[in-house]
Structure 1
């Protein structure tokens, strides 16, 4: 149920859905489109340029705990508004870089902007306004809309790059980012009626001693590495197979459409089957898409088919992770426990694309696709083991039987 009556909370959800879409589209997904031209103009390798985004993700993860405490204390209005302004300025600065050190400095600042504006602060604001089923619906609404970020901004960035070059394209995207996100965060975001509850004492320590924590964390570490590595290298890989740049950008945009479909399907299937099983199946489908891409990706139809297979599981981790952690550890202490899992997941999100770039330079893109498929299989296997352990524990719980009468 809503914590407070009135339409404002759902207006807030709509605003955060839009700002998350634009924020991810400009500050994250557009990077894949500009990777090759930026590397060419700076005289650098793809791994060196990809390291800039890696740095932004690491800074984002490092800043997240402090941002979370500030959100609990002050709410999201001014923090998210300031993050939107900072994001706009950093994208403008990105359009003017002339060296790798300048690129890295810009993306370090962009990491702070990400921590202040993307999913984590948006989720914190939504949670402060909603309870129970309404909370799940609100969070799903934000992620479903934001799932279109790559669908919208990968083709848009590709077209802008074709028309104006990457520098002027970034100026246009910075204007879009500032025009949309700054006023929405400033005028719509408000602090929720209730303060966040502190985590249960000892919850994190108990979780770290539970093998389930490491199975779940390991699953989402592997899946995060797979999805972000493929997302950042898909355009370059498709063009290396001989596909035109606009086609590669358009096909990459399909990932966003399928991520929305996957989130909706996962939410519906979890009503009939265990969440771990549903996510494991989705991750296995992803593995097949990545593994088949080197075989079938040379044709337009084959490339589309493989991207569709991979894309169906792209957004599943966003929905499945909170469900599985809450399901196993409960609500009390959930924030602290989920936060403990965030660091390795964020590190893999950062290092996966960088590792993919290094692997591409040494062994070729086929090896990158194989590595992505293996990571998806590892994620599916970890969730399967977790589910079987839970079933085994439940089977060993003694059932009460009627006592016999003499």
Structure 2
């Protein structure tokens, strides 16, 4: 979607640099998630010992970080739509690098919380949401799924790369110097790639007060999306699914240990979730050529629900546990790929980042709070009650996805409200 102030540029030039941007964002997302998020699980124990704090208190700092990122999603989305991603992502990379250094110097739990809140804020400026907004602005609907897939497939291995790497660094350097090494890695990789690679898609300004029309068009499209009932159905579905996957991700090892498996096997089985999330994204990309995205995603969510419900029966054996984890893991990364595709297809790209930010806020909040709620349920009904809650959330998400796919995209309605915004204009702005 686009206002009348832009016209198509040379698609060959846009496409060539567009793929450079995809490659850069695939690398920066991998390094960003690895250093700012996945390393925390490895550092948790050493930090708790070094700070003389409880594991629960240290874990709460990560929850605070995720919640801070959720609060930043909406203003970051507005910035991206108005000014693009280059300055925002470069500044975020510099700030995140400085915060990693500050993290290595914390000596109290209060300092840890302050640093992690800052990392949550900067994470909202450099991770998936801004990366997706940049990619969506560069590619036509036909090429957009492949571009998004490339970023998410590479970044899907962030835990596989950085959790063992962080473990090695901690073993040889201690957790403080390990963080300094991660800070150097983050700064050397992400800052130059964001600063030198990201730029606005090529377009030709036309006569007239373009900035004012751009702002008017963005506001109109964003308002149209907020009035669309299916936006809220999508938000509810992804919020339920985010809560379910976050809960499983946090409590899966504990559940498998509770079923009698060794910790090493439980951790290995849980580690499959990262690889399976990539598999799920590949399945979505292949299946969407023959079926609607919402149908594929709803089916995967339903498979997840069935796998979770089968755990009490199947997870007693190693083979059964692996099969159940496989069913659950297929849906772990699918939402991160489906959401930008659905939003861009339904509402275009004029206000994509603003709309995506409003969608991301409740989803991220649910991901942060659901594991804590699950922990509160454990004394009441044990893991069985938690599994029922997770399976129910997955089923609700599947039903919601089917409802989202039951009507045509409202480009005509957006065009009537926004004065010239629509899918045709979206193709004109994209240069991928």
**TM-score bracket, shorter-length normalisation:** 0.7 to 0.9
Measured in 2, the distance between the counterparts of 1:59 and 1:279 equals 28
| Conservation of the 8 A alpha-carbon contact between 1:203 and 1:336 | no
CA displacement, residues 70-102 of structure 1 (integer Å, 9 cap, x when unaligned): 445554334323322322232333344343312
Shift of 1:46: 4.8
> What does residue 185 of structure 1 align with?
194
Question: Using a 3 Å threshold, how does the CA distance of structure 1 residues 125 and 303 change in structure 2: closer, same or farther?
Answer: same
Trace 1:3-402 onto structure 2 (pairs within 5 A). Answer: 4-5=13-14, 7-39=16-48, 42=51, 44=53, 46-72=55-81, 74-161=83-170, 166-194=175-203, 198=215, 199=217, 201-235=219-253, 237-238=255-256, 247-293=265-311, 295-297=313-315, 299-329=317-347, 334-360=352-378, 364-387=382-405, 389-390=406-407
> What does residue 396 of structure 1 align with?
none
Question: Using a 3 Å threshold, how does the CA distance of structure 1 residues 295 and 228 change in structure 2: closer, same or farther?
Answer: same
Shift of 1:34: 3.6
CA displacement, residues 359-404 of structure 1 (integer Å, 9 cap, x when unaligned): 45766555444432222122112223444x549xxxxxxxxxxxxx
CA RMSD of aligned residues (A): 3.3
Decide which moves more: 192-201 or 313-322.
Answer: 192-201
Question: Using a 3 Å threshold, how does the CA distance of structure 1 residues 79 and 162 change in structure 2: closer, same or farther?
Answer: same
Question: Using a 3 Å threshold, how does the CA distance of structure 1 residues 42 and 25 change in structure 2: closer, same or farther?
Answer: same
Shift of 1:302: 3.7
> TM-score, normalized by length of structure 1?
0.82
Decide which moves more: 336-345 or 262-271.
Answer: 336-345
Gaps of 5+ in 2: 1-9, 206-210, 409-432
Question: Using a 3 Å threshold, how does the CA distance of structure 1 residues 293 and 94 change in structure 2: closer, same or farther?
Answer: farther
**Number of residue pairs matched?**
390
Shift of 1:220: 0.4
Shift of 1:313: 0.8
Gaps of 5+ in 1: 392-406
CA displacement, residues 144-187 of structure 1 (integer Å, 9 cap, x when unaligned): 21111122223434455566654454344333323322332233
Poorly superposed stretches of 4+, deviation over 6 Å? none
Question: Using a 3 Å threshold, how does the CA distance of structure 1 residues 329 and 135 change in structure 2: closer, same or farther?
Answer: closer
Decide which moves more: 137-146 or 294-303.
Answer: 294-303
CA displacement, residues 292-346 of structure 1 (integer Å, 9 cap, x when unaligned): 4455445544443322211111111112223334455566655544443232222
CA displacement, residues 56-76 of structure 1 (integer Å, 9 cap, x when unaligned): 222223223333444455543
| Conservation of the 8 A alpha-carbon contact between 1:4 and 1:129 | no
Shift of 1:109: 0.8
Question: Using a 3 Å threshold, how does the CA distance of structure 1 residues 298 and 105 change in structure 2: closer, same or farther?
Answer: farther
Q: Which structure is richer in relative contact order (CA contacts within 8 A, separation 6 or more)?
A: 2
Measured in 2, the distance between the counterparts of 1:303 and 1:93 equals 40
Decide which moves more: 101-110 or 35-44.
Answer: 35-44
> TM-score, normalized by length of structure 2?
0.77
| Conservation of the 8 A alpha-carbon contact between 1:281 and 1:380 | yes
Question: Using a 3 Å threshold, how does the CA distance of structure 1 residues 338 and 79 change in structure 2: closer, same or farther?
Answer: closer
| Conservation of the 8 A alpha-carbon contact between 2:24 and 2:197 | yes
Question: Using a 3 Å threshold, how does the CA distance of structure 1 residues 39 and 247 change in structure 2: closer, same or farther?
Answer: farther
Measured in 1, the distance between the counterparts of 2:351 and 2:15 equals 30
Measured in 1, the distance between the counterparts of 2:39 and 2:232 equals 33
